[in-house]
């Protein structure tokens, strides 16, 4: 299937009180693992990739070619999403390369500047049939080349969220409700602010996105989905399980440096995690 925007799949998800996983890709195998599980379960999936990861895969056009080659082998909707892009020109490059969805992260700016930058991206993206995600509020943790301390972070204000969506016409809004980008340090315990999420969901009609899905307790993820979250990003967990499996295989007594065996094992571990997360995000999966 052709790569598709993510707006309709997220609208359907929110309406049905389920969520679509935004799974990070970093090579062909990671994308293939996600698509294989999506096909098996009959679920849509979103490939998310940051600017840095895109360069390690040969650039935006190369990423699109890999994503499309994987999507061609399944008959479930697959979106290719530029995650946490901050530069307008880079977003345009991703759109021209064939990404079907983009995120403009201007959350570091005051709300009016965030609105201005988001509207600029929406103008060019929607003209190309590409969906747009934006972010309001700031999550702590590391995202690409940016580190945000707990002190610098703040949660999304429900009234500001409603105002932001009204002024921009954005397709999906990432909100800050107590999660963290990257791995949770021992000193940080996720405290998901469900009451705030409910207030935001009551005021905002577009699908809501939760970043920092890795490491967040499963019961809190399920509760967030039931209260309006329609997309959850999962990156750190995928990288961790893949790296651990490669290390585990290397410690086996009969291990030989066979590239196929190593990567088949890591791909299977990736598939197992993706399936577990897809089932968590959509309890109706049989």
Q: Indicate the domain borders of the chain.
A: 7-281
277, two tokens? 């997360």
Has 83 been annotated as catalytic?
Answer: yes
Set 83, 157, 171, 237: catalytic member: 83
Taking the CB of residue 69, how many other CB atoms lie within 10 A of it? 13
SS3 category, 107: coil
Distances, alpha carbon 11 to alpha carbons 168, 231, 271, in Å: 17, 10, 25
pLDDT at 213: 57
pLDDT at 274: 97
pLDDT at 145: 52
**Cα separation, 215 vs 181, whole angstroms:** 10
pLDDT at 147: 46
Question: DSSP labels for 225-276?
Answer: HHTTEEEEEE-HHHHHHHHHHHHHHHTSTT----HHHHHHHHHHHHHHHHHH
**Cα separation, 50 vs 46, whole angstroms:** 13
SS3 category, 256: coil
pLDDT at 260: 73
C-alpha triplet 39, 282, 280: angle, nearest 5° = 100
Cβ density class 154-193: b for 16+ within 10 Å, e for less: ebbbbeebbbbbeebebbbbbbbbbbbbbebeeeeeeebb
φ and ψ at 149, to 5 degrees?
-75, 165
User: Which residues are 173's β-sheet partners?
Assistant: 134, 208
Taking the CB of residue 241, how many other CB atoms lie within 10 A of it? 17
Residues of the chain with pLDDT under 70: 138-154, 180-190, 213-214
Superfamily of domain 7-281: Aldolase class I (3.20.20.70)
38, two tokens? 């999506």
């Amino acid at each position: 299937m052709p790569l598709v925007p993510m707006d309709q799949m997220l609208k359907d998800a929110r309406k049905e009180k389920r969520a679509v996983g935004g799974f990070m890709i970093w090579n062909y195998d990671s994308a293939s693992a996600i698509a294989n599980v999506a096909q098996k379960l009959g679920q849509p999936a979103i490939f998310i990739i940051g600017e840095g990861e895109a360069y390690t895969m040969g650039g935006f056009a190369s990423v699109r070619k890999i994503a499309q080659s994987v999507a061609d082998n399944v008959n479930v909707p697959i979106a290719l999403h530029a995650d946490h892009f901050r530069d307008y020109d880079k977003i345009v490059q991703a759109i021209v390369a064939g990404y079907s969805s983009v995120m403009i992260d201007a959350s570091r700016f005051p709300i009016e500047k965030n609105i201005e930058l988001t509207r600029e991206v929406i103008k060019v993206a929607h003209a190309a049939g590409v969906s747009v995600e934006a972010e309001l509020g700031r999550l702590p943790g590391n995202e690409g080349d940016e580190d945000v301390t707990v002190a610098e972070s703040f949660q999304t204000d429900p009234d500001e969220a409603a105002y932001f969506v009204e002024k921009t016409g954005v397709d999906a809004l990432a909100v800050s409700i107590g999660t963290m980008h990257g791995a949770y340090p021992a000193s940080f315990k996720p405290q998901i602010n469900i009451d705030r999420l409910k207030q935001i969901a009551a005021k905002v009609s577009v699908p809501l996105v939760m970043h920092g899905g890795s490491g967040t307790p499963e019961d809190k993820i399920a509760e967030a989905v039931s209260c309006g979250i329609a997309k959850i990003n999962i990156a750190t967990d995928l990288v961790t399980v893949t790296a651990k499996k490669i290390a585990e295989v290397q410690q086996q007594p009969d291990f030989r440096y066979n590239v196929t065996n190593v990567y088949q094992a890591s791909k299977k571990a990736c598939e197992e995690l993706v399936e577990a997360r897809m089932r968590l995000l959509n309890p109706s999966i049989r």
